[in-house]
Chain A
């Protein structure tokens, strides 16, 4: 009886929500009136990581914090700020992790240099082998 009552009580519980009950920021779900500005804002939002749902961009995420970040991006774009400046503002706060388009640094340099190096090794290797074959 007691067990059944506990199970029944568990059925009626709601999930514990980790969100506030406040309405979202004005520009988090509303596009900018100027289509060109909205396009710039959207392009930037798609390259910024949601810090709550970390596989998603802030354009895709429904987390409240992603909404706040969208509102921030749109407000700043509407004020005429360059997307690159908004990105660097966020990188200053959260590090390179916040962008899906990380700037070139000592950490990211191997991503760019390694393919070139491997290609070079490949060419040298091929040249040596072909020379041997013709001789």
Chain B
């Protein structure tokens, strides 16, 4: 017993050392995921940003068809990179709504004219209240909402071409 026990401190040290060393070499993941995934969409009632499109209301998301809710800004550079993928999703029959963070109608109009317009609705979020309500910590982020108005997934950062099939699969599964 004694002869085994004498190694205990060394083993303990090796464990702590291993833990610290592995923490030093693995890059930290700093993304903050929304804790709202899996929960119903919070109550949103956002005024339309553009005269040509309706705003965002939570009730519109519980009508049986899964939708995407894209959090973006005309001032956000990765949102430009993401635009072609959103258009591709729209072509595949996905309905996409948007929340524009701290934005103006003129700037969004110009953004859509330049990068294409994938959105069915655009809600105005001048002070980030809706963004916080969703648990979103930046732009762009995209929430997948099922037909009952529940958040089923969150895509953080711009959607790349390689992400599109997975998003389509998840939306199909949510039907």
Give every chain B residue within 8 A of A52 (Cβ-Cβ): 137-138
Does more than half of chain B's interface fall in helix, strand or loop, or is it mixed?
A: loop
Q: Convert A85-106 into 0s and 1s, putting 1 for each residue whose CB lies closer than 8 angstroms to a CB of B.
A: 0000011111101100000000
Give every chain A residue within 8 A of B137 (Cβ-Cβ): 51-52, 65, 94
Among A22, A64, A92: residue with most chain B CB under 10 A: A22
Q: Is the CB of B35 within 8 A of A65?
A: no
Within 8 A of A (CB), among B54-75: 73, 75
The answer to the question of A21 belonging to the interface, with a C-beta cut-off of 8 Å to chain B, is yes
The answer to the question of B148 belonging to the interface, with a C-beta cut-off of 8 Å to chain A, is no
Given contacts A94-B32, A94-B34, A68 and B103 within 8 Å (CB-CB): no
Nearest-CB residue, chain A, relative to B128: A68
Nearest-CB residue, chain A, relative to B127: A25
Q: Is the CB of B35 within 8 A of A92?
A: yes
The answer to the question of A77 belonging to the interface, with a C-beta cut-off of 8 Å to chain B, is no
Q: Is the CB of B138 within 8 A of A65?
A: yes
How many angstroms from the CA of A120 to the CA of B76 in the assembled complex? 55
Q: Convert B89-115 into 0s and 1s, putting 1 for each residue whose CB lies closer than 8 angstroms to a CB of A.
A: 000000000000111100100000000
How many angstroms from the CA of A54 to the CA of B28 in the assembled complex? 12
Q: How far is the CB of A24 from chain B (nearest CB, A)?
A: 8
Given contacts A18-B77, A51-B137, A93 and B34 within 8 Å (CB-CB): yes
Within 8 A of B (CB), among A65-90: 65, 68-69, 71-72, 90
Q: Would you give 8 A-B contacts (Cβ < 8 Å), ordered by A?
A: A18-B76, A51-B32, A64-B102, A68-B128, A92-B35, A93-B35, A94-B135, A94-B137
Binding site for B on A (CB under 8 A): 16, 18-22, 25-26, 51-52, 54, 64-65, 68-69, 71-72, 90-95, 97-98
Given contacts A21-B75, A22-B104, A92-B35, A72 and B138 within 8 Å (CB-CB): no
How many angstroms from the CA of A25 to the CA of B127 in the assembled complex? 5
Give me 4 other A-B pairs in contact (C-beta within 8 A), A20-B73, A68-B131, A95-B32 excluded.
A72-B128, A93-B132, A95-B33, A95-B35
Nearest-CB residue, chain A, relative to B73: A20
How many angstroms from the CA of A21 to the CA of B136 in the assembled complex? 20
Q: Is the CB of B135 within 8 A of A68?
A: no
Give every chain B residue within 8 A of A51 (Cβ-Cβ): 32, 137-138
Q: Is the CB of B30 within 8 A of A54?
A: yes
Q: Is the CB of A90 within 8 A of B132?
A: yes
How many angstroms from the CA of A71 to the CA of B104 in the assembled complex? 20
Nearest-CB residue, chain A, relative to B30: A54
* The 8 A-B residue pairs with the shortest CB-CB distance in the complex, in nearest-first order: A68-B128, A93-B135, A25-B127, A51-B137, A20-B102, A22-B102, A20-B75, A95-B35
Q: Convert B128-167 into 0s and 1s, putting 1 for each residue whose CB lies closer than 8 angstroms to a CB of A.
A: 1101111101100000000000000000000000000000
Q: How far is the CB of A68 from chain B (nearest CB, A)?
A: 3
